[in-house]
């Protein structure tokens, strides 16, 4: 299922890196733990109004995950999640625990590739505000869905090649304009912004990343499941390794090839070993290519811990030396 792995390192990769261990983080968006079942409506409203992300981040750090990927979309439902006082407490936690952060920029209700300019401009404003709000945390990577759900809707349609290509190019150009504004208004070094492989043709995402000199967040499950088009995971990895800023790690069934190919919607975000990912080959490619950026599980805590046990069984050397079996005993 694809080519051999190679690539020259830039941001996130270092061909001279001889350290075998990798940094495994996890998403903060642990939805099942956000609201306690059985909570009374009045108590729930007070909880939402005063939600503090530090407690959840502290629990994730205690499990050994580093970095923690903060999901700015939480602020849709928890308005104070990234208010200045909450960000300051997250900053203090980072210093106390020695952990780092990445930030997943808004994706819900955000359309940076929309041809409808009021929508696109408003989306850019939401992204810029999120970057500025979380800047005190000095995130290693900001992850962005440069193409929104409207682009994804058209990307999955079966259209003749010419109009399909035209539509994809329209979305790509709008995303380019959005990226240009985001970088200009935030002053963010371009390689700290990583555009994710989502439901949009991979080659156009890579082309955009190269044009704007931003990084790539390779979402392993998305590529396996076919969201990025008819490309194998290892072909995609080879192509983007020179500007790979982050990995989103979860398993999924392989999309297949030729007449048997189909998108595997709703079948991604599985723990490692529950899909068709060649985990050992992926880890070998990343370490062999000198990748030293964040590898972030987009899974529940229990699924991530089980996935770490899967890694321990096949490639124990990639786990940090201080990540003891005690960190993962809850998975067994």
CA dihedral 208→209→213→214, nearest 10 degrees, is 130
Q: Is the pLDDT at 38 greater than 80, yes or no? A: no
Contacting residues for 184 by C-beta, under 8 A, at least 6 apart: none
Give the mean pLDDT of 190-214: 97
- Find the range with the poorest average confidence among 263-267, 268-272, 288-292, 298-302: 263-267
Task: Give residue 77's pLDDT.
Answer: 85
The alpha carbon of 328 is separated from its chain's Cα centroid by a whole number of angstroms, namely: 22
What would the pLDDT profile of 50-89 be if each residue is shown by its tens digit?
A: 678 898 899 999 999 999 999 999 998 888 899 999 999 9
Using pLDDT thresholds of 50, 70 and 90, give the confidence band for residue 98: very high
The b-or-e profile of 103-128 (16+ CB within 10 A means b, else e) is: bbbbbeebbbbbeeeebbeebbebbb
Give the single-character DSSP code of 251. Answer: B
DSSP string, 258-317: GGG----TT--SBPTTSSS--HHHHHHHHHHTTB-SEEEE-S-HHHHHHHHHHHHHH-GG
Domains, the chain, ordered by start: 23-331 (3.20.20.150)
Q: Is the pLDDT at 11 greater than 60, yes or no? A: no
Task: Give residue 40's pLDDT.
Answer: 74
Q: Is the pLDDT at 37 greater than 90, yes or no? A: no
DSSP string, 150-204: HHHHHHTS---HHHHHHHHHHHHHHHHHHHHHHHHHH---GGGEEEE--SS-HHH
Asked if 134 and 88 touch (Cβ cutoff 8 Å), the reply is: no
Using pLDDT thresholds of 50, 70 and 90, give the confidence band for residue 263: low
Q: Is the pLDDT at 97 greater than 90, yes or no? A: yes
């Amino acid at each position: 299922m694809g080519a051999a792995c190679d690539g020259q390192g830039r941001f996130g990769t270092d061909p001279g890196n001889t350290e075998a261990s990798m940094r495994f983080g996890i998403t903060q968006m642990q939805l099942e733990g956000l609201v306690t079942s059985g909570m009374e409506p009045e108590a729930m409203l007070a909880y939402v109004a005063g939600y503090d992300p530090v407690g959840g981040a502290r629990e994730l750090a205690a499990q050994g995950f580093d970095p923690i990927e903060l999901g700015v979309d939480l602020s849709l439902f928890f308005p104070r999640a990234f208010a200045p006082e909450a960000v300051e407490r997250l900053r203090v936690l980072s210093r106390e625990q020695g952990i780092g952060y990445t930030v997943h920029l808004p994706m819900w209700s955000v359309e940076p590739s929309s041809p409808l300019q009021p929508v696109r401009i408003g989306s850019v404003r939401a992204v810029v505000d999120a970057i500025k709000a979380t800047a005190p945390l000095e995130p290693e990577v900001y992850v962005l869905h440069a193409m929104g759900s409207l682009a994804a809707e058209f990307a999955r349609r079966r259209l003749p090649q010419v109009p399909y290509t035209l539509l994809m190019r329209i979305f790509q150009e709008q995303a380019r304009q959005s990226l240009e504004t985001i970088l200009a208004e935030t002053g963010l070094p371009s390689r700290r912004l990583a555009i994710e492989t989502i439901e949009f043709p991979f080659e156009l995402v890579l082309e955009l990343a190269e044009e704007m000199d931003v990084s790539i967040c390779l979402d392993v499950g998305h590529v396996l499941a076919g969201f990025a088009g008819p490309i194998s995971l290892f072909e995609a990895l080879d192509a983007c390794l020179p500007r790979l800023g982050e990995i989103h790690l979860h398993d999924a069934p392989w999309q297949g090839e030729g007449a048997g190919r189909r998108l595997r919607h709703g079948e991604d975000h599985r723990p490692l070993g529950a899909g068709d990912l060649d985990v050992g080959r992926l880890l070998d490619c990343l370490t062999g290519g000198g990748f030293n950026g964040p590898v972030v599980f987009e899974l529940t805590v229990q699924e991530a811990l089980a996935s770490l046990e899967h890694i321990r069984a096949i490639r124990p050397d990639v786990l940090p030396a201080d990540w003891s079996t005690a960190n993962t005993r809850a998975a067994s």
